[in-house]
Amino acid sequence: MEKQQFKAESKRVLDLMINSIYTHKEIFLRELISNASDAVDKLAYKSLTDEKVGLNRSDFQIVLTPDPVARTLTISDNGIGMTKEELEENLGTIARSGSLQFKQDMAAAGETPSDVDIIGQFGVGFYSAFMVADEVTVTSKAYGSDTAWRWTSEGADGYTLEACEKDQVGTDIVLHIKADTEEEKYGEFLEQYRLDSLVKKYSDYIHYPIKMLMHKSRQKERPADAGDDYKPEWEDYDQWETLNSMVPLWQRPKKEVKPEEYNAFYKEQYGDWEDPLSVIHMSAEGQVTYQAMLYIPGHAPYDFYTRDYQKGLQLYSSGVLIMDRCADLLPDHFRFVKGVVDSQDFSLNISREMLQHTRQLKLIANNLEKKIKADLLRLQKDDREKYETFWKAFGVQIKYGVMAEYGAHKELLKDLLLFWSSKEEKLITLAEYKARMAADQPYIYFACGDSTANVAKLPQVERILDKGYEILYLTEEPDEFVVDALGAYEETPFKSVNDKDALPESEEEKAQAEKKTEENKDVLDFVKEALGDRIKEARISRILKSGAVCLTADGPVSLEMEKYFRRMDPSQANSMSAQRVLELNPDSGAFAALRAAVDSDKEKAAQYVNLLYNQALIIAGIPLEDPAAYTELVCSLMK
């Protein structure tokens, strides 16, 4: 029979497995049992609606058979099985599997994972069998198929596939266990007690029985006629035992579950290599009875911010999986949450369509939303560092949640937001801002820009900082829209530092400003004329202190919003332009020079206008229209 070659990536992972120096070789059993359990899940799910399956819930099982003489360990399941194509696709290639993604994620994070990392931190599934076996045979018969197939491989040099006999639907995986070496006693994986303890350690909550025929011995019953000199006799016998407790983790009392157990479940189920930030384990009774075990991940999955990511929780009915990803249980703003909901109030064969409309589902979803929020607030209060990790991963999602559906969820989400504070020089909540606001401070101030360092240097923040007021520095794309959607926090309105009335003015100050505008009308007209359509207006600034110029915008589209629109859709840029206003500080030296030039040398005045306008663009982080011309202008003025 001709040997087929593994796909390149599979071959590499396989090499890793075979030559692994990884010390936790025992995890192969967990991986294979987990695959078996998934396969059983699939057939059990089918059996809910398809009588032809012919199996009851209680018939499903996973069987371990160690044979020390043949040196084999067999893991059998009566799950869905694999067709010939599936055997080739699933076991001949690893490209879809988690380990590759793990490597890519690590690479994206600028790290090179060691081989040990890959194996240890991430389940590599089926291939881990090669850590302990020098030959693996997979015999499988798929549900609905007449023929069975046998896949055999001794490792990296390929595999064979042939038709074979198998009565029952399902899969048998036979591992020929490697010979013992000085360092490694592979033979332990043929010992019943070792296997029993591994199942209890890693696979206890698998909700199908994992059975093994245990070889035991017991004392024989004392014969009725035994005399005083009777010596007890022993006999051997075999007995089937179920090794796992089968109680799903979420059905166990909270105080009996160890943190490691929660974390192990999370990593295995959701293919993460890091522990979650938080676990919410709850049990509710009343209008609807359910248990939930929810996780807040510590980082976003690679596809989280793409269309491919699908939110949802696994939905069980009394320990039986009825839907793998129930989207209706999670609102979009919490779509990063992973976990399980188990409720006896759903019938096993409820259809997806019916389910969506049940009152119970809505009740649970509403409760979970509250619980998730409460847990995030708890994290924010008790463990700010963890909360910041959360924020880094999912803050953008929360912000989108505030903006979504015309702000329908802003009340729910507003206290989860973090923004950078000018005062604290770190991320703060709006409640923290509000709590330390000065009595005379009318607004929650914000300033936008590309980085906190640049925002801090904007000329228009100076006056407000001088008053001792705190400013939120908004540096992420949706921030300004978020503030816009919120409008106010607990009745205190948000205010951009760019607004001309950002600081309340006395009547006297107002009159003063108007006078200055009046006096300099000719200068302003000159500026507007020189710049033409590039600005809507030139204005005597009421927001500058020592800076000479800045650029602001009138109307609903701010400069930052314009930048955002331009990035999102360059072709739309024109319809979404900000109405630019060039603000000039009448008390600055630069203005005095401009004033003098307007009076005496119009050509020079035009150059100054150009200079000031370009400087305003630079400070606002907007690309210059003609950087070369600007440089030449600066040089010519230096002469």
Which residue ranges make up the site for ligand ADP (CB under 6 A)?
Answer: 35-36, 39, 77, 79-82, 90, 97-98, 125-127, 171
Minimal distance, residue 140 CB to ligand ADP, in Å: 6
Residue 178 per-residue DSSP state: P
Cβ proximity to ligand ADP, 81 vs 395, nearer residue: 81
Amino acid residing at 593: A
Cβ proximity to ligand ADP, 98 vs 459, nearer residue: 98
Cβ proximity to ligand ADP, 163 vs 435, nearer residue: 163
- For 394: left if phi > 0, alpha if psi spans -120 to 50, otherwise beta; the answer is alpha
Cβ proximity to ligand ADP, 153 vs 291, nearer residue: 153
Minimal distance, residue 171 CB to ligand ADP, in Å: 4
Give the span between the Cα atoms of 422 and 431, in whole angstroms: 15
Residue 286 per-residue DSSP state: S
Minimal distance, residue 170 CB to ligand ADP, in Å: 7
C-alpha pair distances (Å), 159 with each of 7, 8, 94, 127, 473: 11, 14, 14, 13, 59
Amino acid residing at 313: L
Minimal distance, residue 36 CB to ligand ADP, in Å: 4
Minimal distance, residue 95 CB to ligand ADP, in Å: 11
- What is the maximum alpha-carbon separation in the chain? 135
Minimal distance, residue 201 CB to ligand ADP, in Å: 19
Phi, psi of 237 (to 5 degrees): -155, 165
Minimal distance, residue 77 CB to ligand ADP, in Å: 5
Amino acid residing at 517: T
Phi, psi of 535 (to 5 degrees): -130, 160
**What does the block give as tokens for 485?**
């959607």
Residue nearest to ligand ADP (CB): 125
Cβ proximity to ligand ADP, 80 vs 417, nearer residue: 80
**What does the block give as tokens for 454?**
């640049």
- For 77: left if phi > 0, alpha if psi spans -120 to 50, otherwise beta; the answer is beta
* Partner residues linked to 163 by β-bridges: 149
Cβ proximity to ligand ADP, 91 vs 337, nearer residue: 91
Amino acid residing at 491: E
Cβ proximity to ligand ADP, 106 vs 396, nearer residue: 106
Cβ proximity to ligand ADP, 173 vs 497, nearer residue: 173
* Residue 385 neighbours by CB under 8 Å, 6+ apart: none
**What does the block give as tokens for 553?**
């915008």
Minimal distance, residue 100 CB to ligand ADP, in Å: 10
Minimal distance, residue 113 CB to ligand ADP, in Å: 17
Determine the 3-state secondary structure of 228 from DSSP. Answer: coil
Residue whose tokens read 């955002």: 564
Minimal distance, residue 495 CB to ligand ADP, in Å: 52
Cβ proximity to ligand ADP, 269 vs 454, nearer residue: 269
Cβ proximity to ligand ADP, 97 vs 367, nearer residue: 97
Taking the C-alpha atoms of 191, 193, 195 and 200 in order, what is their torsion angle to the nearest 10 degrees? 180
CB 136 within 8 A of CB 129: yes
Sign of the CA dihedral with 378 first, then 429, 620, and 546 last:
negative
